[in-house]
Chains A and B, each alone.
Chain A
Amino acid sequence: MRTILHSDCNSFYASVEAAEDPALRGLPVAVCGDPALRHGIILAKSAPAKKCGVLTGEAIWQAKQKCPTLVLVPADQRKYLRYARKMRAIYRRYTHFVEPFGLDESWLDVTGHELSGEEIAAQIRNSAREELGITVSIGVSFNKVFAKLGSDMRKPDATTVITVDNFKDKVWPLPVDELLYVGRATRRRLARLALYTIGDLACADDVLIRAVLGKNGETLQRFARGQDTSPVLCAEEAEEVKSVGNSTTTPHDIVDEEGAKAVLYLLADSVAARLRAHKLACRTVSVWMRDSELNSQERQCRLGQVSDSGSDIARAALALLREHYPWHLPLRSLGVCGSDLKSTQHMVQLPLWTPPKVLRERALEGALDDIRARWGNNSIRRGLMLCGAATQDLNPVDDHDLQGLSAMRGRG
């Protein structure tokens, strides 16, 4: 039987701010983006702010209405990264099998350790409190899915143990969407079958679930029954890059294709530069579009050939936008992502003849990388960027903690 821990830092961003500045302790604190650049939403909130009803993702003015004494702190991604790294160093005192899940969550496989899972959890909580000044909630179980459920059950600074003997009492009465990977759509489908709790899903007929949810249904049912066998990957394995993406909310809405084109080229250039830095090229390009009413959609296509060129990626992204976005509403945010990655370090299937234009483009992009590495990301730009007001203040590489679109979708 394995011993898996899932550790979740409580209100991570807000806790880090309070750990750095004791004057914030006990106050309703919210970490927010920059309102001037329209990133003015609540990214994280402290426990007192949560009590006032402040929600992650809502606009600052809405939060202020609910809680007039709310203290706003601008987000400092580097600081959070530093704390996250320190936190992982604490985990690694017990095991090398540490799999990060976002910045503030990690799974640990401590099977075979001389201490019990609960004892390790207690020590980790203690170290986090004393060394970093933040609190964590830890779930201890025999698989990853239940460990994650456990860490959500009691907060803050608590340990929840889910064993083979007690999981039917502790886990099965919970609503089905508490289970990892059960989102709104799956919950609705299950509700149509009158399956509302995790226990309902676990006990439902296999054939029925397979018919309604397909292969994913089988996986979810295995999760609900405590039969998840997925391993905890050690950090090196987990950090293998699967996709490289970048998205942004522009300071002004994008009203036409010309404006969108400028943003897409900007994003594609930054995605391509990161691909080249990792010695990777992508086969699939996806574009993520969110309109001014916050509806989002994502479309993807395959490139004729793997590419790490900003122009190729931008052209594909623009074609997708043209095909799928009807311009019924202005665009608020755009994202570009390259996936299905291949290493360019080893063998690459070369076309028999590469047109001179393509060779020139590659050389140009290599030169751009050099210039940007020396003098900063905004030191050289495409002429196209000067046209659209939407792109004037954007610096995708320096401004954002870059991540895949799937992560963006989660934040909605």
Chain B
Amino acid sequence: MKITHETVQHVAKLARLAVSEEEARQLAPQLDEIIGYAEQLQAVDLEGVEPTSHPLPLVNVLRKDEPRPSLPREEVLAGAPDHDGEQVRVPAVLEGYGE
């Protein structure tokens, strides 16, 4: 799998990164080398091997569904770049939806 300039732009879009032309030119050969190195896994017979997603044999960790105190709203909003005192404010999500 060759990582081209186009692959970089496509992946950047998926990752919500705006990558400049210059960055994409720099990144393409680097990502190609890294993915190329990882391709040594293609040569190993892994037929029938169970994948490991986690080092511990995890089962669902449940707790009682009881309300507990959470962080006060003003403390949480204190870190938000823009808010109206009750909610975080962002640019309009739906086009044409009121200002």
State whether these chains interact.
no
Listed in ascending order, the chain A residues whose CB lies under 8 Å from chain B are none
Listed in ascending order, the chain B residues whose CB lies under 8 Å from chain A are none
